Structure 1
């Protein structure tokens, strides 16, 4: 019987929820205003640069300088960072912790190191990875194939021995292209079934 694969987890929307609109809510009258703001500043592109290692201080100063009428929202978003992480994804911590009790569990996440370090005290189980590659530490965001290679090189893993779990189809396809088995995360029950079918029990 083949050995069970080694689990590799994403973090946001797999282990903990991430809702940037919630993090901005106190600065705007309604969701329409939030969406208008996010489109105006190109929020996704801006935040991705922090995921790739740019410091929060530099990011805020740059954007607030270009959009001074939004300074309060821009500075407040990271000042109140945990507002945008409103809880765990239901059911996945139990899977993660069960797997971690039985063997190694790794992670690859698009996450600023600064913001990850602010997040862990609120969600201490995120400190329990056997090994974790954060995009903010290596300056590379998923789905760049290099980030999957870095995990394997650092920890002596064979891609074919790993199963990667992510909520993004692009990231899942990139992992598969690197030789990993990969699952598109939708909910804990489906993840549990898929992992058990591959011999991963907890």
Structure 2
């Protein structure tokens, strides 16, 4: 590849850290069918996305407990047991991330509540190695809204065409490409390694 190497921009959930909300809910619903029914009934992922976009956790819990009072304790317990929803690192990507960070700047864009990120960081301190990080909870915008990619570039003096965005969501990858970034759909660390090497990045 000719020209300078791109600047890597990582997502966090399902790229660097595993994200499994069912893991923090399973003790309330021993049967899988009951857990799936609960998540569908309350629109769980859509509800959680509001916290990712900056709504305080306590407000989100109170709102949904009022809507679904029979599930009220579950909403509160989910965030009390937050780290159970993050059962570890995605195999292999921390080594890539840290290797890149040792050689140059590495940035991040993640749909992540600031409250919950701050609870997560002590257990995974390598996330403190970002040269710059845009959390949806800080800016009130979730991916793939084009404004969140712009916030990264404007905030850290980057040009979209110089960035390589890495995310496990096709929608978010397409959002990055729409604003002029190169992007890789993450599936696993070996495939990411090959994609980075093809673009002149090593660690």
1:103 corresponding residue in structure 2: 104
Once the 2 structures are TM-superposed, how far is the Cα of residue 24 of structure 1 from its aligned partner? 0.2
Aligned to 2:144, the other structure's residue is in SS state coil
Aligned to 1:193, the other structure's residue is in SS state helix
The residue correspondences of 1:25-64 to structure 2 (distance < 5 A) are: 25-64=26-65
Whole-Å Cα distance in 2 between the matches of residues 201 and 95 of structure 1? Answer: 9
Whole-Å Cα distance in 2 between the matches of residues 187 and 58 of structure 1? Answer: 35
1:27–1:72 contact (8 Å) kept in structure 2 = no
Whole-Å Cα distance in 2 between the matches of residues 196 and 40 of structure 1? Answer: 44
TM-score by length of 1: 0.99
Q: 2:168 aligned with 1:167, yes or no?
A: yes
Once the 2 structures are TM-superposed, how far is the Cα of residue 74 of structure 1 from its aligned partner? 1.0
Whole-Å Cα distance in 2 between the matches of residues 180 and 198 of structure 1? Answer: 13
**After the TM superposition, which of the residue ranges 20-29 and 178-187 deviates more from structure 2?**
20-29
Q: 2:137 aligned with 1:157, yes or no?
A: no
Aligned to 1:165, the other structure's residue is in SS state strand
Aligned to 2:109, the other structure's residue is in SS state strand
Aligned to 2:134, the other structure's residue is in SS state strand
Q: 2:3 aligned with 1:2, yes or no?
A: yes
Whole-Å Cα distance in 2 between the matches of residues 32 and 48 of structure 1? Answer: 23
Q: 2:99 aligned with 1:114, yes or no?
A: no
Whole-Å Cα distance in 2 between the matches of residues 161 and 129 of structure 1? Answer: 17
The count of aligned residue pairs is 202
Unaligned runs of 5+ in 2: none
TM-score by length of 2: 0.98
User: Could you give the per-residue CA deviations for residues 25-78 of structure 1, whole angstroms, max 9, x where no partner exists?
Assistant: 111121111111001100111000000000000000111111111122111000
**After the TM superposition, which of the residue ranges 119-128 and 63-72 deviates more from structure 2?**
63-72
Whole-Å Cα distance in 1 between the matches of residues 164 and 55 of structure 2? Answer: 29
**After the TM superposition, which of the residue ranges 104-113 and 22-31 deviates more from structure 2?**
22-31
Runs of 4+ in 1 over 3 A off after TM superposition: none
Aligned to 1:120, the other structure's residue is in SS state helix
